[in-house]
Structures are given as C-alpha cells and as structure tokens.
Amino acid sequence: MSAKHVYFFGGKTADGDGKQKELLGGKGANLAEMCKIGIPVPPGFTITTEVCAAYYEQGKKIPEAAVPEIDAALAKVEATFGKKFGDTSDPLLVSVRSGAALSMPGMMNTILNLGLSDASVEGLAKKTGNPRFAYDSYRRLIDMFGSTAMGCEHEAFEHEIHSLKHEKKAALDTDLSADDLKELVKRYKAVYKKNVGEDFPQDPKKQLYLAINAVFNSWNGNKAIEYRRIERITGLKGTAVNVQAMVFGNMGTGSGTGVAFTRDPNTGENVFYGDYLINAQGEDVVAGIRTPEPISKLNDEMPKVYKQLCEIREALEQHYKEMQDIEFTVQDGVLYMLQTRTGKRTGTAAVRIAVEMVKEGKIDEKTAVKRVAPDSLNHLLQPQLDPKSKVKPVAQGIAASPGGATGMVVLDSAEAKALHEKDPAVKLILVRKETSPEDVAGMHAAKGILTSTGGKASHAAVVARGWGKPCVVGCDDVKIDEKSQTITIAGKSVKAGDYITINGTTGDVMIGKVETINPSMTGDFSTLMTWADKSRKLKIRTNADSPADATKAREFGAEGIGLCRTEHMFFGDDRIAAVREMILAESVEGRRKALAKIEPFQKKDFVGIFEAMDGLPVTIRLLDPPLHEFLPQKDNRAGAEAVAKQIGVSVEKIFERVEELHEMNPMMGFRGCRLPLVFPEIGEMQVRAIIEAAIEVQKSGKKVFPEIMIPLVGVVEELSILKTQAIAVAEEAIKKHGVKVEYQIGTMIELPRACVAADKIAEEAEFFSFGTNDLTQMTFGFSRDDIKGFMPTYLGNKILPIDPFQTIDFNGVGELMKLGIQKGRDSRKAKHGSHLKIGICGEHGGDPDSVVFCHKIGMDYVSCSPFRVPIARLAAAQAALGDTVRDK
Ligand code: ADP
Ligand code: MG
Ligand code: MG
C-alpha cells in the first residue's frame, strides 16, 4: 500500500487527478480533476480504495495510519470552506459518498448533512435564519444515517412522518412547520435508539467514522457482490470514500439542484440536456417524485448561474474530449459542481457524438472508432415507426430513448416477464407510473416502456437507453388503474392486452398498432463505418439465404456471403412435393427423377443470390439436412394422407420411411457430407445448379465467385471423394456452355477431428470456414438445443465464464481453431504454395468479442447475419486498433 491514504481536493488544487480512478474511484478522481481545471467544487477528500482493501485485511478496521490523515484533511476542508465540523454556531456539514473505479449499483447510498447534532442544529437554524431548513436537514440525516449506515428500516422513519402529518393534518411534507420537524427529530431519534440500541451519535467525528466504515462494508454487501459477479468485474481493490463539504440546494427559491448531460444522450445532438429542481436536495431530481424542469428554463430563473453552467459545460468537454454527465447544486445563487463522468448514451448518440467531435477537432478518427461500443449499433439498426402511418398521437411524454415500438399494454413487470417466457415473439409495452430495479426483468421482456412520471434521468429512461429500447417517460396524460387493468391515455380508456405505440424519438404515444420499418445506413453512421473500414484487417461477409437478405447485407457493407444454406430452399411450397418424392424414392433412378424436378428451382435461387452479390464471393453450403423434417410425422395422419395422395404412394410407405429415418441422436446422425456420400446424385444436382446459375449470371455481364462448401467433414477422404465428383459435374457444365467460371471447393471445419487433421484436409480444401456452432457442440458435447437445464448453473457457479454459444470459448474451442488454422495454412503452403483462405460462419461471427478473437488468430474474414454486419465491421476495426477507450 502506498504511504498516502487520503487525497484532498478543493479550491483550485487537488492531491490527485482524473487518471487515478483505480486508487480514488471514478467520483473521487473526477472531483480532483475538476478542481485542478478551476471548476467550483465544494472542498473534500477521498480515502483511497487501498484503504478499503486494508480495512478488510485488518478484520474490518480502518488502518491506524489513515486516521491522522483523515483528521488533517478534514481540517484542511474546514480551513478552505471557512466553517468548523461540529461547530455549534455555524457548523460545517459533509456528505459521505462511495465510489469505486467503475460505477456500481448496490453499494451504499450517499449520506448527506453529516455533522448535525442537537447543539449544531440550533446554530444552523440561527445562522441561516431558517429553522425549518435546519430541522428538515437533521431529520433527513437521522433517517439516512440510520438506514444506510446502521441497518435501521427506512420504513420505520417513514411511519413516523406519516403519523405526524396525519396528526397535524398536513398534506405534504412541506406543510410541516419548523416546530413539527423539531418534534419529528425527537421521534426519529427514538426510532434510531430502538433499532440501533444506542442514542443517535452527537459527536460528529463518531458519525463520520461510522459512515466511513459503512461505505467500506457495503463494498462486500450482497447486492454489490452480485453486481460484480453478473458484470464479471474483477481485480478492483475496493471502494473509495469521498467526504465533501455540504452545499444546499434546498435553502429556498434561490437554490436548486440538477443533473445534466453536455449533449443529448438520446440523439447525440450538441445541446445542453438535463433537468433541475428549485429548492431541492440531492437525489430529488432523479427519484421521479417531482417532475423536474428542463435545464434551458434555468436561463429564465437564474440567468447568471445558467451562463456559468454553460461555460462549465464547454470547459468540461474541452478538457475531457468526451460527453459528460454532471451533477450540480446552486446554494443561494452560487453554483457548485458535485460530479462529472463520461455520460452513458444510446448507440445513435454514440455515433453522432463521435463523428461530430472529430469534426469539432476534439478527437481523431481512430479515437472515434474506438469509442463506440459495437453492440450499441443495434440501436441504429432498430425499427422506426412508419412515418406514413395515419395513427395520430393522443398524448406526449418525454422522449427518453429513441426508436418506435408497438405492443400490447402490460401493467405488471412479473406478468410481462411471464408472457415473454411463454412466447418470446410477443410484443409488449410495459406501462408503469415509474420503474425501479424490481421492474428490470419486465422491462427487458417488453418492446418499449411508457411511464407517467419521471424525467430524462429517471430509472426507466436510463435503463431503456442502456439497452437501446424505445422509452417514453413523464407522460402525465397516462393514468393507470392496476385494479381494473386499464389505463386512460388523454381520457381514452385502453385495456391491458390492447395495442398501443410509443415513439421514443419524439415522445409521442398512440393508441393502436403502427407498422415499423427497418433502418438504413446513412449520415454519421456511414461516416463512422468508413473510418472503421480504414483500420480493419478482417473482411466481413454475411450469412444470407435469399437475394433480399443478400441485398440488405450489401447495403450494410458485407463483402461477400460466408454462408448460404440450402436447406430452406427445399421447403418452398413449389418444391416440397418433389423433395418428399426424392426422400421416398427407392432407387437411384427414382431419386434422380425427383431431383430433376428440384434442380430448376435450386438454380433460380442461386441466380438471384449471385446477381445480388455481383462481384463478390458467395459460399454455398451443400445440403446439411434433417431429412425426417421434410416428412409428416407419425402423429399427423391427415398430413401423411395428403402427401400420399400428392405424390402417389401409400400412407404406410411414408410412415415406414419416417421410421427408417428416425435417429436416436440426429445431431450426430446422417447429416452433412454423409448424405451426398451415400446419395451422390443429391450433391451432383446441387453442384450443377450452382455452376449453371453462375454461368447464366456471368453471361449477363456480372462477376460471380462461387465457393462450394462441403459440411461436416472430419476425414480428408470424405472431402476428396466429394470434391472429385463436384469437379466432374462443374467441368461438364462449363464445357457444355463454353463459359469459364472461377469456382472453389472448400469445407466447413466444425468437428474437433477436422481441426486436428486440418493439415490433411487442407491438401484438398481451397478454403476453410469454421462452423463454430457445431464445433462448440461437438467440442463440449453440449447439444445447443438442450443446454437450458444446466447452463444457468454453469454460469452461476462460474464453471464457465460465459455461454460458449454466445462468445467463442477461447481456451477450448478457440485452441482447436488456432490448431486448425496453423496446420491448415502450413500444409496448404507446403503442398500448393498458396494461402489458405479461412473464415468463420457460425453465429459467433456477429459477436464483438469473438470477432476480436478471430482477428487475433489470423482469420481472413468473419460472416454474420445481415443486421450484425456493421457491428462486425466496427469490432474488426477496434481489434485492429488495439485497446478500446470506452468506459465500462
Ligand atoms: P450517486 O453515486 O448515487 O449519484 P452521489 O454521491 O453522487 O451518489 O450523491 C447523491 C446525491 O447527493 C447527488 O445528487 C449529489 O449531487 C448529492 N450530493 C452529494 N454530496 C453532496 C454535497 N456535498 N453537497 C450537496 N449535494 C451533495
Ligand atoms: Mg452521483
Ligand atoms: Mg453445422
């Protein structure tokens, strides 16, 4: 541990600075930094995270060496602020605030007004000439200190204020007089004594040390531990404690408190964005109890303060080169800053802010690329409401998180969660007065969130923004009646289960359904993508089975198709009969006859895709089939009868074949390359359709690069046999038409054996594509469809750090991939003198962490679903640029 335990800040100096987040916590580091750049901050000091670690090492005791430093720092605060802690005529009061290197819900709430006692409260009353304020502060301290530091029930205090209000016939807290509050202090002290077993401490130093202990204790409280576990936060020393001179936003109409962002965190627009409340303290703004005023209105109420605040906004952005989230308090016309940190924002805002900051000369293009979290682009890929819709808004709330959502009204979070579990496709809009952490699961299940109270910084707004989920808050035209399960929107009654629509970009609320339309890539989004493309080394392809998907993916910047599956092409209404005929055929001739009917359809499919991908490579995987899925199952007699009639066989015959095709373990059954090995005519038909389509499209003047991919190869012989067959078919077609087509034949690497034997396989394969879904299944021996029962336990007990179907298991599956790449590349080079092209086409190709891994192990490309293409482009650029600079 370093020799220094306590870091002072105040005036225009500070012992620490903004870089010391590990040691001083985010809050402490930034308070120091603000002082250093001359921003007004009430003086205070930060006890380091190392002291927290030492506190635990010494059996929950503040290390002795820290105590004199704390006392000295407190004296310095007194000198700077010109008041004395515990003074009975004009006391210094302080707040005690927790703060780790990363912001962490679940730790102790801040205690305000520390240092008040029976004696000093009188002094405060006299000094301020405001006894009401003094006693209100004191009773708040007893409540906060009792419930957050000493384990009293907050409810017990609430009970006292309710009964007093009842006795005094006071409707609001503010209707209580100074004498009433004096009485309340007496009752609160009784509650405290009953719960804690001793009197509320009159010695301010004792209060302070008890509060510091409580902050340290909260570091290992259940909620904080749980949060660190879920977010996989490790390696932090502990929490810091910030002790800071109190300033009061609740001293009358010349005072107030607010929270703001230096830019709009929804849209990214360069405007000052926030809320404030006159005559209020601390968290009153975010609690959603009173609906606050927009920050621009402060210009009317306190023009001087507003001007100063705008200058500070500018100064902070100039200094941090980042959008800031700030807290401030005005005491009798004097402005103080209490917090600044990197502001959370939607994906849309992240992109706009990054691009505009480059244009403003604050950051460079590479920094802009590193700053945007790839997954946050989801927000720009969210559906928007159809602007041509005729449905008119009936009410307007505050636009809290952009995007449009339509769904059925649900009033209860638990019910939303249950409905979603029953049917994941269900569209719900969660409607609440306000939300709290208990609502999170229901909010997650809903497509959008609507609340009748609360401002831009309310719980609902912040959480929805984090997820990129449309949200409208503070819509006071919405009245909720949980009992009758109805809401009224601007006087019109809507039942739970009825459809409503919200527009989180404008704040509009509509009754009924509105169509949503898919987004496109333009403006800042496309600018940022261009910058990303300058840095990335990986190519990005897409998984697409239709011309429509292929076209969409190209718009998003796909540089080819990495996986075109052919299974679904067999299901179309126009061909399913021929497919069934093929499956039921008893001879090669019968099968060929049926396949001849399918072939023109297959060719047409490929023509469409080749046309859409003009000039770019297209990897087509041969059929990897669950054949039985094409036939009606045993319990479906009616279906079987219909099929029997259609293709002219008996129902018994169909069931017989279904029986034959039944597998104990289809995942490891008659699939992949095993099918064309047993029935070569199937593979031949597919290859012919691919090459004929390529020839046709090439003749029309377009460029085609077909790559034929043979699935589930584990032994090189499987590949060499099928490759020989494919070449024969392809060359025959090329000869017949007299048109040369460049094509390649490669394989999917999705079996552990294929990784180990990659050197052999690469002698035949012209490319590798890692099928990481199957490779993960086969490596772990987990069936992806059957992990529900045990995966939660695996993750909960840290048997696995993360679901390997979401992010590549670097240490197992990843090692096999590295082996496959190295053996494959070496062998291809040695035998053919050429570079073996390697990509990935499993769902991991759209997962940012997996993309970074693919970059590191030297792949040529990743392939993902069309809507993940921009995400993969950005992740690939960040991988190439090295460490990202995003705040966690
Ligand atoms: P959180 O991490 O939950 O935001 P904070 O420590 O920032 O907790 O404090 C909670 C509220 O109390 C904030 O609104 C903050 O501005 C206010 N606050 C904290 N310390 C002081 C102080 N010394 N004077 C006035 N208000 C304070
Ligand atoms: Mg805060
Ligand atoms: Mg597979």
Ligand 1 atom with minimal separation from the 284 CA: 14
At a CB cut-off of 8 Å and minimum separation 6, what does 287 contact?
Answer: none
Question: What are the angstrom distances between the C-alpha of 803 and each of 512, 791, 792, 807, 844?
Answer: 38, 7, 9, 7, 11
Ligand 1 atom with minimal separation from the 328 CA: 16
Q: Whose CA is nearest to atom 14 of ligand 1?
A: 282
Ligand 1 atom with minimal separation from the 248 CA: 25
Query: Can you read off the two tokens belonging to residue 553?
Result: 């993916």
Under 8 Å between Cβ of 96 and 111: yes
**Ligand 1 site, residue 110, Cβ cutoff 6 A:** yes
Cα separation of 484 and 220, whole Å?
43
Question: Nearest CA to 196 among 205, 182, 183, 206?
Answer: 206
Q: Whose CA is nearest to atom 23 of ligand 1?
A: 246
Query: Can you read off the two tokens belonging to residue 589?
Result: 């001739």
SS3 799: coil
Question: What are the angstrom distances between the C-alpha of 61 and each of 4, 102, 202, 211, 452?
Answer: 17, 24, 22, 13, 46
- Pocket test residue of 35, 46, 74, 95 for ligand 1, highest count of atoms within 8 A of CB: 95
Q: Whose CA is nearest to atom 8 of ligand 1?
A: 110
Please state whether beta strands 6-10 and 617-621 pair in parallel, antiparallel, or not at all (unpaired): unpaired
Q: Specify the pLDDT at position 783.
A: 87
How close is the Cα of 125 to the center of ligand 1, in Å?
Answer: 22
Ligand 1 atom with minimal separation from the 103 CA: 2
Tell me the torsion sign for CA atoms 872, 877, 882, 883.
negative
Ligand 1 atom with minimal separation from the 259 CA: 14
At a CB cut-off of 8 Å and minimum separation 6, what does 52 contact?
Answer: 216, 219, 237, 238, 239, 240, 241
Q: Specify the pLDDT at position 886.
A: 45
Question: Nearest CA to 851 among 835, 868, 866?
Answer: 868
Per residue, the 3-state secondary structure of 569-589, as one string, reads HHCCCCCHHHHHHHHHCCCHH
Q: Which residues surround ligand 2, an ion (CB under 5 A)?
A: 339
Which residue is it, tokens 């308070």?
A: 31
Q: Which amino acid is at 781?
A: G
Q: What number of other Cβ atoms are within 10 A of residue 518's Cβ? A: 10
Cα separation of 99 and 215, whole Å?
9
Cα separation of 428 and 148, whole Å?
36
- Pocket test residue of 24, 41, 46, 112 for ligand 1, highest count of atoms within 8 A of CB: 112
Buried-exposed string 667-685: b where 16+ CB fall within 10 A, e elsewhere: eeeebbbbbbbebebbbbb
How close is the Cα of 778 to the center of ligand 3, in Å?
Answer: 10
Question: Nearest CA to 34 among 201, 180, 244, 223?
Answer: 244
Q: Specify the pLDDT at position 317.
A: 97
- Pocket test residue of 31, 96, 97, 330 for ligand 1, highest count of atoms within 8 A of CB: 97
Q: Specify the pLDDT at position 1.
A: 66
CA 531 to chain centre: 23
**Ligand 1 site, residue 317, Cβ cutoff 6 A:** no
**Ligand 1 site, residue 244, Cβ cutoff 6 A:** yes
Please state whether beta strands 91-92 and 84-85 pair in parallel, antiparallel, or not at all (unpaired): parallel
Please state whether beta strands 486-489 and 478-481 pair in parallel, antiparallel, or not at all (unpaired): antiparallel
Mean pLDDT (10-residue bins), the chain, 888 residues: 91 95 97 97 98 96 96 97 94 96 80 96 94 93 94 92 92 87 96 96 97 94 81 87 96 92 93 93 68 92 97 97 97 97 91 97 97 89 82 91 92 94 92 88 94 85 79 94 94 95 92 86 93 98 92 94 89 82 89 94 95 97 83 80 84 86 86 94 97 97 97 98 98 96 97 98 98 96 86 88 92 98 98 97 92 97 92 97 59
How many Cα atoms sit within 13 Å of 107 on the Cβ side? 24
**Ligand 1 site, residue 339, Cβ cutoff 6 A:** yes
Is the pTM for the entire model greater than 0.85? no
Query: Can you read off the two tokens belonging to residue 816?
Result: 């096999």
How close is the Cα of 379 to the center of ligand 3, in Å?
Answer: 30
How close is the Cα of 774 to the center of ligand 3, in Å?
Answer: 5
- Pocket test residue of 283, 330, 338, 459 for ligand 1, highest count of atoms within 8 A of CB: 338
**Beta bridge partner(s), residue 327:** 259, 339
Question: Nearest CA to 90 among 246, 280, 256?
Answer: 246
How close is the Cα of 58 to the center of ligand 1, in Å?
Answer: 29
**Ligand 1 site, residue 42, Cβ cutoff 6 A:** yes
Helix pair 848-856, 869-881: axis angle to 10 deg: 50
Helix pair 49-57, 21-36: axis angle to 10 deg: 150
**Ligand 1 site, residue 283, Cβ cutoff 6 A:** yes
Under 8 Å between Cβ of 226 and 106: yes
How close is the Cα of 801 to the center of ligand 1, in Å?
Answer: 35
**Ligand 1 site, residue 817, Cβ cutoff 6 A:** no
Q: Specify the pLDDT at position 559.
A: 98
How close is the Cα of 773 to the center of ligand 3, in Å?
Answer: 7
At a CB cut-off of 8 Å and minimum separation 6, what does 13 contact?
Answer: 35, 36
Ligand 1 atom with minimal separation from the 244 CA: 23
Q: Specify the pLDDT at position 287.
A: 62
Q: Whose CA is nearest to atom 12 of ligand 1?
A: 282
- Pocket test residue of 27, 137, 242, 283 for ligand 1, highest count of atoms within 8 A of CB: 283
Query: Can you read off the two tokens belonging to residue 763?
Result: 């002698």
**Ligand 1 site, residue 778, Cβ cutoff 6 A:** no
Ligand 1 atom with minimal separation from the 94 CA: 23
Q: Which amino acid is at 353?
A: I
Q: Which ligand is nearest to the CA of 42?
A: 1
**Ligand 1 site, residue 329, Cβ cutoff 6 A:** yes
Q: Whose CA is nearest to atom 6 of ligand 1?
A: 97
Q: Where are the extended beta strands (E) located within 496-650?
A: 499-503, 508-511, 516-517, 539-543, 561-564, 617-621
Q: Which ligand is nearest to the CA of 95?
A: 1
Cα separation of 163 and 439, whole Å?
29
Cα separation of 456 and 294, whole Å?
9
Residue 622 DSSP symbol = -
**Ligand 1 site, residue 560, Cβ cutoff 6 A:** no
Q: Whose CA is nearest to atom 22 of ligand 1?
A: 246
Under 8 Å between Cβ of 813 and 772: yes
**Ligand 1 site, residue 599, Cβ cutoff 6 A:** no
Query: Can you read off the two tokens belonging to residue 612?
Result: 């859409």
Catalytic residues: 459, 841
Under 8 Å between Cβ of 501 and 400: no
Cα separation of 419 and 446, whole Å?
10
